[in-house]
Structure 1
Amino acid sequence: MDFILLLLLLLASVGTFAQIEVIPYVPQVTDQEFKGKITASTFALAPPNCIFNSLVNTTDEIWLVVTFANATSSFKNPTDPQEIPLYENLRSTLAYMTMKSTVSQYPCDKAKSGSVLRVGNESTCKSDGGLTPCNGLLPSPGPYRVKFLAMDSKGTKAETRWSGPITLKKAQTWQAVDTWPGRRSGDMIVITVILSVLCGVVTLGFLSTVCYECFKLWRNSPPETVEQRHQDPFQTSHYDTHHIPPTPPVRPPAPVDITTSS
């Protein structure tokens, strides 16, 4: 009896695993050439266009699973939406699911093949109990591995294979920045020398102009006389307030002859 029960459980589990379709698609970093494809906290994935179209319904959810490279074996596909690991618990669960979407967002239209999925695109995460799946910054260089999976109301329905390890760039500390001028490029050295010479020429021209103008003012000023040099600066000038002509002298009266009159 126990053997029959064990066999039934084994068959049920095999049937359950058989329901999960494994798609032979390996997620990878986009092959487009642009700056910032891989940074210290993000990386850009090629979207899984036209991968789930024949396997899922329009109402099914497509998720991106992000794990540390050494934690893929311990990750279990959720059988219920309540089991979806959150970004906020990455340190303890070593995995999280993000970028919830539908099959309509990954169409087979080749015109939209230029788009990318930026993992770690959100600098802050809303604290809403996991209602909004966060796509927060990745906390370390990793390496990380990712896969896509599709879920319906009963759990995981289809999934892709795991990607290869993706290692982020390491941020360089300011102490490690090389400031030795001998390791600068030749173009930078030439530009620095030219700018220095131009600054020196402009400064020299400005000083020459100032000296020339001062010399012109000194040369065109009237010469100072000896009297002006020895003049008492505190001596006041003498001047008349009113111009009055001098009075002519009055002629004396004529003398009187006493003899003639008697």
Structure 2
Amino acid sequence: HISYVPQLSNATLAGTVTQSTFTLEQPRGQFSHLNISDFDAIWLVVAHSDATQNFTAPQRVKDSPVPADFPQEGYYLTLTAKRALYPGGQLGNQLRVLRVGNNTHCSPRTRGCNHPLPGPGPYQVKFLVMSDRGPVADTEWSSETHLQQGCPRAPEHGHCGHHYHPVSPAGHPPHRPPGPAHLHLVRGQGRDHPGPWERYNTCGSMPISGPGESVGVRRYNTHHMFSPPAVGGS
């Protein structure tokens, strides 16, 4: 057992909790236990709070529920990673976070899909380490997270939802210099990027990220909204 409690991101950024997502601190340096291999998969278990008391870890990942089963089963697994993506040590001026519920492009019937959360919750999460032989280790459950019921403030463009901006090879929206008032997503090994588009959170301006990505902490003011090209994902 790992005596670590998953935490909501403590960064002072808009969008830590939205109507369908919430943002966690990455569990850096928590998986150095001798029983854990570099090849073991580290999953995030997302559960309804009332399902945590009777939760039993699946013996095989392929036997775990998919997001479409969430209402009936009470939990699912998502955001798989290896411990190399969660090293210890200082990050300097970079912030590494996990955005739960950020993938609108994968099917909720796909195992591991990080699908938008279906309601206000409350939800709790824990990290579960799985090998080919079954569960290896797990963390404590997080405290309860309640999602937003509506926009915390009037959106700049009059509606809620995920906002998309095209990004140039330099990593910032065209016709907008990077400057000190910029939120920039450093691309990593995550699988949830919608191609050359940066996706921003509901009613705010923080770009999303997965286990292999980091976010530079600055401020970004939105401008024109665009519709992204259709992208498949799993």
SS of 2:91's partner is helix
Q: Structure 2: how far apart are the matches of 1:64 and 1:167?
A: 17
Q: Paired residue for 1:11?
A: none
What TM-score comes out, normalization by structure 1 length? 0.54
Deviation at 1:114, TM superposition (A): 1.1
Partner of 2:215: none
Tell me the C-alpha RMSD between the 2 structures. Answer: 1.6
CA–CA distance in structure 2, aligned partners of residues 89 and 124 of structure 1: 18
Matched, 1:136 2:135: no
Greater share of strand: 2
- Deviation string 1:178-197 (CA, Å, 9 cap, x unpaired) is xxxxxxxxxxxxxxxxxxxx
| 1:122 to 2:132 alignment | no
What TM-score, normalized by structure 2, do the two folds share? 0.60
Partners of 1:65 and 1:142 lie apart in 2 by 14
Of the candidates 65, 71, 80, which is equivalent to residue 100 of structure 1?
Answer: 80
* Partner-residue secondary structure (3-state), 2:70: helix
Q: How does 1:213-232 map to 2 (within 5 A)?
A: none
Higher RCO structure (Cα 8 Å, ≥6 apart): 2
In our comparison, the structure showing a higher alpha carbon Rg is 1
Whole-angstrom distance in 2 between the partners of 1:66 and 1:129:
15
Q: Does 1:145 align with 2:124?
A: yes
SS in 2 for 1:124: coil
1:80 alignment partner AA: R
Which amino acid counterpart does residue 19 of structure 2 have in structure 1?
Answer: A
Task: Give the drift of 1:127.
Answer: 6.8
Q: Structure 1: any 5+ residue segments left out of the alignment?
A: 1-21, 173-262
The structural deviation recorded for 1:171 is 2.1
Pairing of 1:60-209 with structure 2 (within 5 A): 60-111=40-91, 114-126=95-107, 129-130=110-111, 133-171=112-150
Moved over 6 A (4+): none
Q: Does the residue aligned with 2:96 lie in a helix, a strand or coil?
A: coil
CA 1:128–1:168 in 2, change beyond 3 Å: closer, same or farther? Answer: closer
Could you say which residue in structure 1 is the equivalent of 2:24?
45
Percent same amino acid among aligned pairs?
Answer: 37
Question: Please, which runs of 5 or more residues in structure 2 have no aligned partner?
Answer: 152-234
Distance 1:127 1:147 in 2: 20
Q: Secondary structure at the match of 1:111?
A: coil
